[in-house]
Structure 1
Amino acid sequence: MSRLALLRWLHGFLPAPVALRWSERLRGGLGALLGIALTGGIGRLLPGNAATIPYLIAPMGASAVLLFAVPASPLAQPWSIIGGNLVSATVGVSCALLIHDPVEAAALAVALAICAMFALRCVHPPSGAVALTAVLGGPSVHALGYGFVLAPVAIQSAALLGAAIVFHALTGHRYPHGHAIPKPAAAPQDAASFTRADLKAALARRSELLDVDPDDLETLLRETQLQAYARRFTEFRCADIMSRTVVSVTPQTSAQEALALLGRHRVKALPVIDAARRVCGIVTRADLATVRRGASFQGLRSALARAMRGSTADAPRVAALMTTEVRTVTSNTAIAELVPMFAHFGHHHIPVVDAHDRLAGMITEADLIAGLYQQSFAAERKQA
């Protein structure tokens, strides 16, 4: 091997840059701190002492890295940690009981645990350490027998998972990442576009497991594709693509009236404006649906009574249901700036305001796609 080839080979060991803000890195560390502290605290409350049931087992540290540092990973999802740890613990205890040589038992336990996790779709790397702990944990672990699966493995796994769910909810992160997620509007179709079938075929040709959910990967690729497409039209402004006729409501509009407007105009969100037509919130079909889901028999009877009296004074109002933190853009905003907004904006509707912050229009993902397509078509015709 030449010196140059050796340098190239060694260069492959260099880690890739971490494209993550420092605030997110610190957030992951704080989550692990709280999660492990909570899990260990619960372990101390269990009957017995650390000599019989460990307060914490080492694999929980590895699980904490996944749950708090890379929560979007398929390996960090609830079924992965619970299923993977329980299956591996069961396999490890069985191998420890049936095979006297610890090295042989450990090797077989890890191998069988991997196969079982693949079969049950709960691959969780720290679970391999759970299987090893069941075999090599010493007399105290061996004395627990299959009780090791329940305490400490099941209890500590559930405690750490519960801590992760609460922590991510409080810090505004989506966890768990379900298999099926709402997909953004597709990018304009051309020769360079791809379909879900193309993505599946490309993944099927790989001989290794990628640590990314296919839905997340597709969303990222489509966002990148749309960003690259929008970059071609930096002179194209929001005023060129926005819907100027906007159906809006006020904070005092009743929830029933807002639902009727959504159905009548076939839209999914309504901007909420004050007396000066300034945007003070946005209400979606999902927001209004909570009124229906949360209605009790008593609430229905009260509504009927109000209807018989011809009164709607006590009806739920938009002000109590709307989202007040609304991202708006001006009519002069370049459409290329809309792509990251749509990628991280929950409602997928962005109100457009004029120079006086008054509602001037609304842009949806469909408006963005249609505008980009029309501009592209016009540019192609001009070149022809």
Structure 2
Amino acid sequence: MLKSVLLSLLPARSNTSQRQRLRASFGALLGLLITSFVAHFLLGENAMWMVAPIGASSVLLFCLPASPMAQPWAVIGGNVVSGLMGVVCVQFFGPGPTAAALATPLAIAAMFALRCLHPPGGATALMMVIGGPAVHAMGYRLPLGPVLLDCVLIVLAAIAYNNLTGRRYPHSQQLAHPNPHATKDEVPTVRFGFQPEDLDAVLRQYNQELDISRDDLEELFLKTEMRAYQRRFGIITCGDIMSKDVVTAEFATPLADAWREMRQHRIAAVPVLNRVRRVIGIVTTSDFMKHGGLDDYHGMRRQLLDFLRPSGTTHSEKPEVVGQIMVRHPRTASIDTPITELVPLMADSGFHHIPVLDHEERFAGIVTQSDVVAALYAKNALSASGSPTPSSYQAA
């Protein structure tokens, strides 16, 4: 009984990979090295050039860079405002138990009011009270001097390191699935699942601060829904439904040839491959329209013919080949990618054609919106008839 109670008090096992743990630890090392050396150089040996709460701030900045409490305004504003509240308490009550008890609660209230809640700020406020005569002598100069400088330096280090190691920082609040058509409608995947209003209502009911941004929370819920759908209906991969006999182009394919192939085969996109069949771009009818100046529909046929006709010169400002108008580094998928992962891309982000790569990163086929719709329809039909397995889909 006692053993089970003790085990229940243990925290859950972390899902963070060893690589991410090393990334965070090394980032904190670099950030604190930069902060300490630069602050020491600017403020001098005899000055207070480093404050202890910056160590706690580094944990948030490098381990939890997506947390609302780790954003630049939270780190800088939270520590500085909390330091000022601590100094105010010392000024009014002296450096005793009363000031120590009031400093952190007042700092929390100030951080809530200024929307810069940052846990290490509580330690900054308390440090101003119990830091001793040297801290008390500095008064307001400490939070507006060394604390502010240390915060700015550690934030700049976090911005550089997190982005260089593949973590977006600062983590600005944004729509998890912005509508690519710039209309007020929700994107399709959100329409059939839970609504943003549902999440807002639950968060208000929960009525507590969360150490995760709202857009990240919404993204996690949507991905969880997709995984549940895969488990329910089985996994269909891009390799199962892709078109393999695909019209392709090379960088130097003349525009007129590419347009002729697209019209002949009634397709709207052509993957652009290099000589070893790796995808280097994709060209669509939209690219022809955009680069051909076809926004004005008057005289469209004449404009298109002028755009496709070779200039006959060696140097021309007009695009002559596919490589000059293609979208470089297009979004791709693997032959093992479940098609449910393509639904948000096609429904929400406006992708209509996604090239599929084999295990050697070479072009293997292409998946279109029509392919995904047909596969999901067929899968649901088979599930309704009592055959919900991927193998039965393939047989069908």
TM-score range, shorter chain: 0.7 to 0.9
**Equivalents in 1 of 2:343, 2:17: separation in Å?**
16
Which residue in the other structure is 1:28 paired with? 24
State yes or no: 1:382 paired with 2:382.
no
State yes or no: 1:12 paired with 2:8.
yes
Asked if the contact 1:109–1:131 (Cα under 8 Å) also holds between the matched residues in 2, the reply is: yes
Which residue in the other structure is 1:291 paired with? none
**Equivalents in 2 of 1:354, 1:7: separation in Å?**
51
**Equivalents in 2 of 1:94, 1:35: separation in Å?**
30
State yes or no: 1:100 paired with 2:94.
yes
State yes or no: 1:126 paired with 2:120.
yes
The alpha-carbon deviation at position 117 of structure 1 amounts to 0.8
Which residue in the other structure is 2:316 paired with? 311
**Equivalents in 2 of 1:253, 1:97: separation in Å?**
76
The alpha-carbon deviation at position 203 of structure 1 amounts to 1.4
The alpha-carbon deviation at position 26 of structure 1 amounts to 0.6
In structure 2, relative to structure 1, the CA distance for the partners of 1:235 and 1:189 (3 Å cut) is same
In structure 2, relative to structure 1, the CA distance for the partners of 1:233 and 1:111 (3 Å cut) is same
Asked if the contact 2:226–2:341 (Cα under 8 Å) also holds between the matched residues in 1, the reply is: no
Asked if the contact 2:176–2:218 (Cα under 8 Å) also holds between the matched residues in 1, the reply is: no
- Which residue identity does 2:100 align to in structure 1? A
Which range moved further: 41-50 or 112-121?
Answer: 41-50
Which residue in the other structure is 1:198 paired with? 198
**Equivalents in 2 of 1:109, 1:19: separation in Å?**
36
**Equivalents in 2 of 1:322, 1:84: separation in Å?**
42
Aligned pair count reads: 338
- Which residue identity does 1:40 align to in structure 2? S
Which residue in the other structure is 2:183 paired with? none
Which residue in the other structure is 1:281 paired with? 280
| Map 1:184-333 → 2, pairs under 5 A | 187=189, 193-234=193-234, 236-238=236-238, 242=242, 250-251=250-251, 271-274=271-274, 278-282=277-281, 311-312=316-317, 322-323=328-329, 327-330=332-335, 333=336
Aligned with 2:367 (options 356, 362, 365): 362
Query: Percent of aligned pairs with the same residue?
Result: 38
- Which residue identity does 1:280 align to in structure 2? V
In structure 2, relative to structure 1, the CA distance for the partners of 1:74 and 1:375 (3 Å cut) is farther
SS in 1 for 2:367: strand
Which residue in the other structure is 2:71 paired with? 77
The alpha-carbon deviation at position 219 of structure 1 amounts to 0.3
SS in 1 for 2:9: coil
Asked if the contact 1:244–1:362 (Cα under 8 Å) also holds between the matched residues in 2, the reply is: no
In structure 2, relative to structure 1, the CA distance for the partners of 1:189 and 1:382 (3 Å cut) is farther
Which residue in the other structure is 2:36 paired with? 40
In structure 2, relative to structure 1, the CA distance for the partners of 1:147 and 1:199 (3 Å cut) is same
The alpha-carbon deviation at position 131 of structure 1 amounts to 0.7
The alpha-carbon deviation at position 148 of structure 1 amounts to 1.0
The alpha-carbon deviation at position 8 of structure 1 amounts to 5.2
Aligned with 1:63 (options 54, 57, 62): 57
The alpha-carbon deviation at position 210 of structure 1 amounts to 1.9
In structure 2, relative to structure 1, the CA distance for the partners of 1:28 and 1:241 (3 Å cut) is same
Aligned with 1:145 (options 132, 139, 146): 139
Show structure 2 runs of 5+ residues with no match: 179-186, 259-265, 288-310, 388-396
In structure 2, relative to structure 1, the CA distance for the partners of 1:106 and 1:187 (3 Å cut) is same
Show structure 1 runs of 5+ residues with no match: 259-264, 289-306
The alpha-carbon deviation at position 100 of structure 1 amounts to 1.4
TM-score by length of 1: 0.73
Please give the per-residue CA displacement for 1:217-242, whole angstroms capped at 9, x wherever unaligned.
11011111102212334463425655
In structure 2, relative to structure 1, the CA distance for the partners of 1:355 and 1:20 (3 Å cut) is closer
The alpha-carbon deviation at position 109 of structure 1 amounts to 1.2
**Equivalents in 1 of 2:88, 2:270: separation in Å?**
59
**Equivalents in 2 of 1:119, 1:134: separation in Å?**
21
- Which residue identity does 1:94 align to in structure 2? V
In structure 2, relative to structure 1, the CA distance for the partners of 1:57 and 1:336 (3 Å cut) is same
The alpha-carbon deviation at position 15 of structure 1 amounts to 1.0
TM-score by length of 2: 0.71
SS in 2 for 1:361: strand
Which range moved further: 232-241 or 41-50?
Answer: 232-241
In structure 2, relative to structure 1, the CA distance for the partners of 1:253 and 1:76 (3 Å cut) is farther
**Equivalents in 2 of 1:245, 1:27: separation in Å?**
43
Asked if the contact 1:80–1:122 (Cα under 8 Å) also holds between the matched residues in 2, the reply is: yes
SS in 2 for 1:281: strand
In structure 2, relative to structure 1, the CA distance for the partners of 1:273 and 1:328 (3 Å cut) is same
The alpha-carbon deviation at position 201 of structure 1 amounts to 1.5
Asked if the contact 2:244–2:365 (Cα under 8 Å) also holds between the matched residues in 1, the reply is: yes
The alpha-carbon deviation at position 65 of structure 1 amounts to 0.5
Please give the per-residue CA displacement for 1:52-98, whole angstroms capped at 9, x wherever unaligned.
3x221110000001100111211111111011111111111111112
CA RMSD of aligned residues (A): 4.2
